[in-house]
Amino acid sequence: MARIVILGAGVAGHTAARHLGRLVSKEHDVIVVTPNSKWNWIPSNIWVGVGEMKPEQVTFELAPVYKKLGVQYCQAKAVSIHPEGGEKIEKPYVTIEYTGPDNMGEAGTLEYDYLINATGPKLNFAATEGLGPDGFSASVCTAGHAVEANKWLQRMIDEMKAGENRTFVIGTGHGMCTCQGAAFEYIYNIEHTLRTANVRDKARLIWISNEYELGDFGMGGIHLTRGGYITNGKVFGESLMVERGIEWITRAHVNKVEKNKIHYETLDGEFHELDFDFTMLIPPFAGVGLKSFDKLGEDITDTMFAPNNLMKVDGDYTARPYDEWSAKDWPRTYQSPLYKNVFAAGIAFAPPHLISKPMQSPNGTPINPTPPRTGMPSANIGKAVALSIRDMLNGSQSPTHTASMTEMGAACVASTGMNIFNGTAASMTVYPVVPDFEKYPIYGRDMSLTFGEIGLAGHWMKYALHHMFMYQAQVKPGWTMIPD
């Protein structure tokens, strides 16, 4: 009997756990280690942040779900990986710190035969002074954060109804942020909420982003087939902003947030200030801080992980100029090159390079989005890793399934206002996520599979997807029929 330990229960980790639970848990031990007691469908937090959903509609308890799957649940935080074992423990193991109410703070170890690092991102609010719920900006990164954001929003609405004008600033809180999508959805849902409350005329809405231009999304910009013609993401994004009366600032690195004031630097090296009454800024992501040690106890973190503490996998991390990177550099199996029984999935793996061109201001400040790996890519990677481990348990000498982001499409339905009658969403598909200019020399993507539209039908789709994925994640009857 083998033991598979999964660190993290986000989209990638939970997907891997679901599939390993149904495939191997009768013959092998599957253990999920996560500091959280609840699973959160993060894409719907933006609706919690405008009061359209409650936290219990986007979360559920993990323990009962894993019990149904025959998966062991361990509420703890992973601290370190010991892929060669140690002086006292012969097998590979991880050290953990329990976070459950009955054993909070206690330390422990878990031996493993296979390990999946799916720890997801550290929400690195500390990278920008004053950023985040403990500072002066709101967040929708967790359901709890989103509840507090909505309270702030409702106070603003009350003040506008009393005749006050208010400024809202939404976007990214650092020059190296990824995942602009959540902020993109949130600013449009705020705009829709203000219109519904009949106070839109009292509000100034400003988008601030580290993108070189609108529509970059950390993917080097996109071209979309729309209405029979091809347009670029810049036109798509700007037309939507103009239509909703939203101002925008791009090429910006937020370096400090004070009460009612944002300080930021632009790519031209100039420094600016921006007053606000409400702000929600997405933080940059980093690895969660896992350490790694060899059999003698020597620290090998710098060998196993990239400088941002994301795990190196089977990609090509050779340092070379941006223009010399290619689609071939991206990982396919997500297996560690050093330890064949260790994998990383979802945000926990280190991208080999930026998709958007790296840029910096004359002051040396990097200002460019980093690659997105959330949602569909994370789920596909988690499933591929799970299926490879199943086959390796059955005798395969190497991973059998791949999920390269250069061969993977992604669908994004971005809410721009929630209402069954007048809500809207921007529906976009991109294939592949990472452009391949050798295969698709003009745009880097297959334009017959890369398109975008906006409208009420998109909102219905977004709402349906929320319920589908909440149903699937809870492994309710027929869950395997729903695509990851």
Share above pLDDT 70 across residues of the chain, in percent, rounded to a whole number: 100
Instruction: Give the pLDDT band of residue 250 (cuts 50, 70, 90).
Output: very high
Q: Which residues of 436-460 are buried (b: 16+ CB within 10 A; e: fewer)?
A: beeebeebbbbeeebbbebeeebbe
Query: Which pLDDT score is estimated for 447?
Result: 95
Residue 295, judged by CB atoms within 10 A of its CB (0-12, 13-18, 19+), counts as middle
Q: Which residue has the tokens 């719907």?
A: 44
Supply 178's token pair.
Answer: 């990824």
Radius of gyration from C-alpha coordinates of the chain: 22
Pairing of strands 278-282, 285-286: unpaired
Report yes or no on whether pTM surpasses 0.85.
yes
Mean pLDDT of 41-48: 97
Quote the CA–CA distance of 133 and 280 in Å, as a whole number.
Answer: 9
Q: Would the pLDDT of 228 be above 90?
A: no
Instruction: Give the pLDDT band of residue 375 (cuts 50, 70, 90).
Output: confident
pLDDT digits (tens, 9 = 90+) for 49-94: 999 999 999 999 999 999 999 999 999 999 999 999 999 999 999 9
pLDDT digits (tens, 9 = 90+) for 273-297: 999 999 999 999 999 999 999 999 9
* Contact indicator for 317, 385 with CB cutoff of 8 Å: no
Mean pLDDT of 11-36: 97
Query: Which pLDDT score is estimated for 142?
Result: 97
Q: Which residues pair with 266 in a beta bridge?
A: 252
pLDDT digits (tens, 9 = 90+) for 294-328: 999 999 999 999 999 999 999 999 999 999 999 99
Angle between helices 180-196 and 143-161 (to 10 degrees): 30
Query: Which pLDDT score is estimated for 114?
Result: 98
Mean pLDDT of 448-468: 95
Of the chain, the end-to-end C-alpha distance in Å amounts to: 28
Angle between helices 11-24 and 62-69 (to 10 degrees): 30
Which of the following CATH numbers is that of domain 3-123+286-393: 3.90.550.10, 3.10.20.30, 3.50.50.100, 3.30.70.260?
A: 3.50.50.100
* Contact indicator for 46, 20 with CB cutoff of 8 Å: no
* Contact indicator for 185, 46 with CB cutoff of 8 Å: yes
Q: Would the pLDDT of 102 be above 90?
A: no
The type of residue at 310 is L
Sequence-separated (6 or more) residues with CB below 8 Å from residue 195: none
Query: Which pLDDT score is estimated for 373?
Result: 85
* Contact indicator for 181, 222 with CB cutoff of 8 Å: no
Instruction: Give the pLDDT band of residue 99 (cuts 50, 70, 90).
Output: very high
Quote the CA–CA distance of 209 and 184 in Å, as a whole number.
Answer: 10
* Contact indicator for 59, 39 with CB cutoff of 8 Å: yes
Residue 353, judged by CB atoms within 10 A of its CB (0-12, 13-18, 19+), counts as buried
Query: Which pLDDT score is estimated for 432?
Result: 95
Quote the CA–CA distance of 276 and 249 in Å, as a whole number.
Answer: 14
Supply 126's token pair.
Answer: 């500390």
Query: Which pLDDT score is estimated for 131?
Result: 98
Beta-carbon neighbour count of residue 472 at 10 Å? 20
The phi and psi torsions of 233 (rounded to 5 degrees) equal: -60, -30
Mean pLDDT of 182-211: 97
The type of residue at 435 is P
* Contact indicator for 225, 188 with CB cutoff of 8 Å: no
Instruction: Give the pLDDT band of residue 156 (cuts 50, 70, 90).
Output: very high
Query: Which pLDDT score is estimated for 229?
Result: 87
CA distances from 250 to 46, 216, 364 (A): 22, 10, 17
223 vs 202, residue with greater confidence: 202
CA distances from 41 to 38, 203, 475 (A): 10, 30, 14
The type of residue at 190 is I
What DSSP character marks residue 312?
Answer: P
Q: Would the pLDDT of 417 be above 90?
A: yes
Helix ranges (H only) for 370-416 are 376-393
The phi and psi torsions of 50 (rounded to 5 degrees) equal: -120, 10
What DSSP character marks residue 334?
Answer: -
Taking the C-alpha atoms of 18, 313, 430 and 432 in order, what is their torsion angle to the nearest 10 degrees?
-120
